[in-house]
Every structure is written in C-alpha cells, then in structure tokens.
Structure 1
Amino acid sequence: MTSSKTATKGFPTSAGVWLGLGLGGFFDGIVLHQILQWHHMLTSAGYPADSVETLKVNTFWDGMFHASTYIFVAIGLAVLWRAARRPHLPWSGKMLAGSMLMGFGIFNVVEGIVNHHILQIHHVNETVPANQWIYWDGGFLLWGAAMLIGGRLLLNAGKRDTAAPPSS
C-alpha cells in the first residue's frame, strides 16, 4: 500500500509551459499576422505580402504555424488533464499562470531569435522602415524575457503558497 505522500504529485509545470507556448504562438499569429498584418511567416524570406501569389504562400505557412501552436495547446491540456486526474497536492493558480507566462516568454524568445535574427524570415513590424525593424525585434525579445522571468517568479510564489503549512 502506498502512502498518501507517495501517491500525491506536484503541479505539472510542463502543462503550463506547453499551454503558454501555444497561446504565445496564437497571440503572434492572430494579432501580429492577421489583425495588425505587420508580417507573415515568410515576408522577409522572398515572399512579401504584395501579391496574391506571395500572400497564398504566406497564408499556407501561417496556417502551418497555427497548426503547431494548436498541437502545443493540445499537449498542455493532455498533461494537465492527466495530472489533474491523480491525487495531488493543492495547486495555486499562480503556478498555472506563472508556468503559462513562462511558456509564452519562451515562445517569444525562441521565435524571436530563430525567425527574426538567425533565419530572418520575418520581423515583428515590417510596416515601419527596415532600419527600424531591429528595435521591434529587440522589443519582442525583451517582452519575452520579461514574461519568462515574471512567470518564473509567479510560479515560485505559487510553490511557496502551496508549500506553506496551513495556519491554525
């Protein structure tokens, strides 16, 4: 027979990170690609959104991008569901919010470094003069780093909240 201590599990941080990765991607794709139309997946890789043909290419790759972010959310939900169905210690809402913020920040940092700086397939705001793109790309990285750090702090605060013995 297992003790209640060995049967309990901690908060599934990876679930929140996967959810944050997916939601970060959805924010980027919906807000920056579709609503503001600042860029699409390949607008700086020889497919500027200035013709129907290049917009078709970008729309396809925007869709592939959204499909991957959808998979991230599905993984996060599966991990969270699996963990929630087992006996566990109380979770703080700060832990979920913090881990999701971490995932969103990781998305911004990785996507910003890879797509904006290394591959240069697009930049955050291509509606401004090209000599200003670096400022938008840098701001995107700083925003991601701030979310990652803030999320970690929030996650740690939630862990402290749940680890504290109940007051009498």
Structure 2
Amino acid sequence: MKTESGADARSAQNLWSGVLFGVGVIAFVDETIFHQLLHWHHFYDRGTSELGLVSDGLFHALSWFATIAGLFLFADLRRRRAVNRRRWFGGLLAGAGAFQLYDGLIQHKVLGLHEIRYVENLFAYDVVWNLTAALLLAVGIGLVVTSKRAVVARALP
C-alpha cells in the first residue's frame, strides 16, 4: 500500500493557500489600478468621496488579510515540504477569477456598489471584465482538477 506524499496529504491546504493568495492579489490589482491610479471608482460609490476612500481602505485591508493568510498557509506547506505547485497555482487562478466574477456580477450589477467605470456605454467594460474573470476561473479549476487526478494516479498500484 502506497502512502501519500506531503503534498497529497495537504491537498486542501494547497488549494486554500492559492485561493486566498489569488483573492488577495486580484483585489490588490483592482484597488491599485482602478481605484487609485485610474480613479474609475471606489469600492462603495453610493456616498460621498470621503466614504468612498474609507471603503477603499477597508477593501485594501481585507485584501491584504487574504494575501497574508494565503502566504502563512504556503509557508507551512513549504516547511512541511508539501507544496503541490499545480494545485496551488490553480487555486490562485480560481480564487482570482472567482473574486473578479463576484465583483463584476454581484457588486457591480446586483448590489450596485460601483461600476467598473462611469461611462455611457458600459457594456464593453462589463464583457471584458467578466470574460477575463471566467477565463481565470476556468483555467484555475482545470489546474485544480488535473492536480487531483495526478494525485489519484500516483496512488494507484
């Protein structure tokens, strides 16, 4: 009977470390590029500019909590020599894509917290934003699924 390697035994930790890091990274990119550099929107645009800046600060802080949590989990995996790079990177892409899709569909359209950019024809922005998110999510899920198959294949006699 074969025993699981460290990476196989820590499959969920590899996945969640990547997901948290992916959420943190994409939120950081969103906040830095679209909020700070381009001034396209704030996390919450239904109030004053001051409220928008405070909401951006809270969003930034929460994104860094996700990033740090993901890195702590990754450091533990490294210490245990249990990193499954494919699963971790798949988690990173899936986390980034899931967050971006949530942002584009729920925060932008359902809750109306903000739009990508306040322009007359928003459709093109929405399509690019959500298709990019779906692509990241699909590639990430594909990597996660194939990493799981590789683990099962290694365990077969």
TM-score by length of 2: 0.81
- Matched residue, 1:67: 61
Deviation of 1:83 (Å): 2.7
Deviation of 1:162 (Å): 6.5
Distance 1:111 1:155 in 2: 22
1:96-126 superposed Cα distances (whole Å, 9 cap, x missing partner):
3221111100111112222101111110111
1:33-52 superposed Cα distances (whole Å, 9 cap, x missing partner):
11111111222x2x3xxxxx
Equivalent position amino acid for 2:56 in 1? D
Structure 1: state its 5+ residue gaps.
Answer: 48-53
For residue 109 of structure 1, the aligned residue among 79, 101, 106 is: 101
The answer to whether residue 128 in structure 2 is matched with residue 139 in structure 1 is: yes
Q: Which has the larger radius of gyration?
A: 1
**Higher helix proportion (structure 1 or 2):** 2
TM-score by length of 1: 0.76
What is the count of residue pairs matched by the alignment?
Answer: 150
What are the within-5 Å matches in structure 2 for residues 18-167 of structure 1? 18-43=20-45, 45=46, 47=47, 54-86=48-80, 88=82, 91=84, 93-126=85-118, 128-129=119-120, 132-159=121-148
TM-align CA RMSD = 2.5
Percent identity over paired residues: 27
Equivalent position amino acid for 2:101 in 1? V
1:65-109 superposed Cα distances (whole Å, 9 cap, x missing partner):
001101111111122222332253x63x33332211111001111
Structure 2: state its 5+ residue gaps.
Answer: none
Distance 1:4 1:84 in 2: 22
